[in-house]
Amino acid sequence: MVRPLISITRTPPRPGREAIAAAVRRAVTLAGGLPEAVRPGAVVLLKPNLVEIPYTRESGAVTHPGVCLAVAEMVRERGALPIIADAAGMGSDTEAVITFMGYDQLRSDGYTVLDLKKERSVWVENPAAAVLPRLRVYEWALTADLLINLPVMKTHDQTEVTLSLKNLKGLLDDCSKKAMHRRALFRGIPEIAAFFRPSLTILDAIYTQEGVGPVYGDPVEMDLILAGRDMVALDTVAGAIMGYRPEEVPTTMLAAGMGLGTADLEKIEIAGLPWQSVRRRFRRCSESEILKEVPSCSLQIGDDTCSGCRNTVISVLVELKARGRLDALSDKIIVTGTPPGHELPGEAILVGNCARQHGPNKNFIAGCPPENSWIIEALCPPLP
């Protein structure tokens, strides 16, 4: 059996445009080169992660524009047309991210950079999927001849990490993103990855993020580029570099179980730097100190709560603190998981589909796990 090939290359510290391009080219070459389908006349969709405006350009939340530029240049050298495109997270402004991160400079250089939220989206069937058998996707993802995935390495407050697989969620229209959160985010991610199936993934691990990612976590400069065609293998290697075992990352394991790729490090061929030589343990979302700042009576986290709702609640607390609104918990209780065995007070806010078992409650927030903003709205309703 052919082993999946993942390459790892390094940039110098705080690399400029040329150093990034050199590392990206080497990573792509070591991973087998650009796909053959990148040929004259082909339209190649480059999908970075433009989730949200971060604190700084180097905070590791958004794919570095230099990585996109390097890939776009390689695509253009083959006579193909690169289209750089993404949609920011739900409720966020992609154009503002494009401007803040300097992607508009790529436009000045003659490249097309699109805010997918302004582009056409269409309903499509995905009968192989259990979570979203019908989904609304941006048309560019269907009409492009091939897709190159350009995620960034970071921890995530719901899925532990966000790497190759999770990055493809940005190709869904907001209504399908919401539906995936309501039904089953973990299972939905590998299902849409199987639907889009990028031809190549190049992971930006120059500026990365640990702690309560994926936007306001703590920056970590790693100065690495990874590349490969097997997204599961790439997420396994990237996770190992971050100090995660594959079984700690549900999306990786579910994707491997669906036959989407290999999550066994022993069966993955590494080209370039050995992953062990660049390993650095990333602080998990669950290791946040925020729990020490919240009275324990304000939280009822059932023992069976998985990392999805657990980390979501932590992330909500971090955001409330940043807004100076931890007081919103003074008269409310957040509940996740199955019943604790006694009646809950009326002000309990039931978070996540597992908590539905507590019975009818007007403060139930559906989702598996729910979006952070839905919980924040329940805790701090907007003024009338």
Q: How far is the CB of 185 from ligand SF4 (least distance, A)?
A: 7
Site string for ligand SF4, 314-353 (x = CB under 6 A): ----------------------xx--------------xx
Q: Which residue has the tokens 């976590």?
A: 217
Measured from the CB of residue 181, what is the shortest distance to ligand SF4 in angstroms?
10
Q: Residue 226's CB: how many other CB atoms inside 10 A?
A: 29
Q: Is residue 369 involved in binding ligand SF4 (CB under 6 A)? A: yes
> Which residue of this chain has its Cβ atom nearest to ligand SF4 in the complex?
308
Closer to ligand SF4 at the Cβ: 197 or 356?
356
Q: Which of 32, 23, 29 is nearest to 4 (CA)?
A: 32
Should residue 190 be labelled a site residue for ligand SF4 when binding is judged by CB under 6 A?
Answer: no
Token pair belonging to 249: 């990352």
Residues in Cβ contact with 257 at an 8 Å cutoff, skipping those fewer than 6 apart: none
The torsion defined by the Cα of 372, 373, 378 and 379, in degrees rounded to 10, comes to 70
Task: Check residue 354 for interaction with ligand SF4 (CB under 6 A).
Answer: yes
Position 372 contacts ligand SF4 (CB under 6 A): no
Q: Which residue, among 62, 140, 135, has the nearest Cα to 98 in the 3D structure? A: 62
Window 229 to 248, contacts with ligand SF4 (CB under 6 A): none
Please tell me whether residue 271 binds ligand SF4 under the rule CB under 6 A: no
Which residue, among 352, 363, 286, 355, has the nearest Cα to 318 in the 3D structure? 286
**313 binding ligand SF4? (CB under 6 A):** no
Does the footprint of ligand SF4 cover residue 306 (CB under 6 A)? yes
Residues 6+ apart with CB under 8 A from 293: 317, 321, 326
Q: Estimate to the nearest angstrom the gap between the alpha carbon of 379 and the chain centroid.
A: 25
Work out whether 60 is an interface residue with ligand SF4 (CB under 6 A).
Answer: no
Closest approach, Cβ 305 to ligand SF4, in A, equals 5
Whether 191 contacts 129, CB under 8 Å: yes
368 binds ligand SF4 (CB under 6 A): yes
> Which position among 262, 305, 315, 363 is part of the footprint of ligand SF4 (CB under 6 A)?
305
Identify which of residues 26 and 181 has a Cβ nearer to ligand SF4 in the complex: 181
Minimum distance, C-beta of residue 286 to ligand SF4, in the bound complex (Å) = 13
Q: Which of 309, 326, 333, 365 binds ligand SF4 (CB under 6 A)?
A: 309
Greatest Cα pair distance, the chain, in angstroms, is: 67
DSSP 8-state code for residue 359:
-
Alpha carbons 254 and 232: distance in angstroms, whole number: 10
Do residues 208 and 221 make contact, with C-beta atoms less than 8 angstroms apart? Answer: yes
Q: Would you count residue 82 as binding ligand SF4 (CB under 6 A)?
A: no
Q: What is the binding site for ligand SF4 (CB under 6 A)? A: 305-306, 308-309, 336-337, 352-354, 368-369
